[in-house]
Structure 1
C-alpha cells in the first residue's frame, strides 16, 4: 500500500519547481491530484504527463476567491472529495525596502500570504465533509530569518507561520491538521532567480555554512510534504518542519 492511497490533493503552483515535484511524488504515492497555476501551458503539460486518471489541471489565481472555488470544485467533481491542500504557490521580488515599490510589496503578500489564507478558508468545508484532512503551507527558512532584499518575501513567510498555528487551533475540531514546511536552498527556478539577485554571495561559501553542503532536490521536500499529508502524520498539527540541510542549526565554523 502506498502512503497516499485514496487521498485527493489540491496543489497550488503546480506547473513548475517544487509544486511540479509535489504533484509527481503525490501521484507516485497513490494520490489523485489537481494542480493549479497561472502558467497554463506548463500546468496542462504536467497533468497530461501524469494522466487524467491521476491528475487534472485548473487555471488558478490564488488571490481570487472565485479561483479557489473553481479549483476545489474541480477536485471534488473529478475525484469525489478533497483530503489534502498544499499551499505551495509563491512569488519573490528582490529589492531593498528603500527601493521597493509599494505595489510589489503588496503583490508578494497577496500571493504568498493572502492566497494561503484563502486556501485554508475554502478548504474547511470540503475537508470537513470528507471527514478531515491535511493542509501543508509551504513557507521558507526566510520565515525564520530575514535576508537583505527580501523584506516582502520574508514578511509573508514569517506571517505564514502564524496563520498555520491559528488554523491548527481552529480546525483541529474538524479533523483537519495544518502544518508548515520551511525549505532552504532548493534547485528550482525561484531559487535560481534568488541566487542571481544575490550575485555578491559566493555559492560555495553558502553551502559550506550548512552541515549538508549542497542544494536540495525538489523531491527531498516533496517527501516531507507527502508525509505530512498522509495518515502517518496523524498527530502532527500546528508544527514547523525545516528541510534546509541544517542551515538554521547554527554557524558551521
Structure 2
C-alpha cells in the first residue's frame, strides 16, 4: 500500500493533471492574493492589538476555505470524473461543511498542542526528554489521519462516520502515515531549501517570493497530494453498493 499511496498518487496526479489544474488555478490565485494582503498588513499601523489579531483570524479562515475548495475539487475530479471550469469558484453547503470539519480537526490539536508546548521545556534538561512532545505530536497526527476519510465523504456528499473511517484505515494505517509524511516532508524540504537560498542571497525580493508564491505553492501541493492519497485509500477500503 505504501507504493500505491506514493507512486500511485504521482501517477494519478499526472493522469488528471489538466482537470486538477483547472480546479485549483483560481483558488491558488486567490491564495496568492491573500498572502499579498497578509504581507502588506504587516506594514500597516495596526500591527498590534485586537484588530490585527482579528484580521489574522479572518485571513486564516479564508486560507482554510480556499484549501478546502482545492481538496474537494481534487477529490471529485478523481472519484466522480468531474471536469471543473477554470476561474469558476463555488462555495456552498458542501464547502462550508468541509471547512467546519477542517476547523474541528484543528481543534482536536488544542489539548495535545498544550501538552507539546508544556513539555518542550523538558528538552533543556535532556535530549531524551524531547521524545515526550514528539510522542504527543505523532500520536495526535496518527489519530487524525485515521479519521481523515470523513473528508472524502464530505467531498462526495456521502456520509462517512468517524467510526467507519477508523475501520477503513485500520489495515493500511502505517502506509497512510508514512506516505503522507514522506510527501509532505519532501515539499516542506523544498520550501526550506528555497528559504535558505533566499536568506543566503539576501534581499527583500526573495523573501517576498517565498512568502507570497512558494508557501502557497507548497500548501496547495500538500492538499492536492493528501486528497489524492485519500481517494486511493477510499477506493481500496470502501466498496460501495452503487457508484458514489
Question: Could you state the TM-score of these two structures normalised by the residue count of structure 2?
Answer: 0.32
Higher strand proportion (structure 1 or 2): 1
- Indicate the structure whose relative CO is greater, using CA pairs within 8 Å and at least 6 residues apart: 2
Question: Could you state the TM-score of these two structures normalised by the residue count of structure 1?
Answer: 0.31
Higher helix proportion (structure 1 or 2): 2
Larger Cα-atom Rg = 2
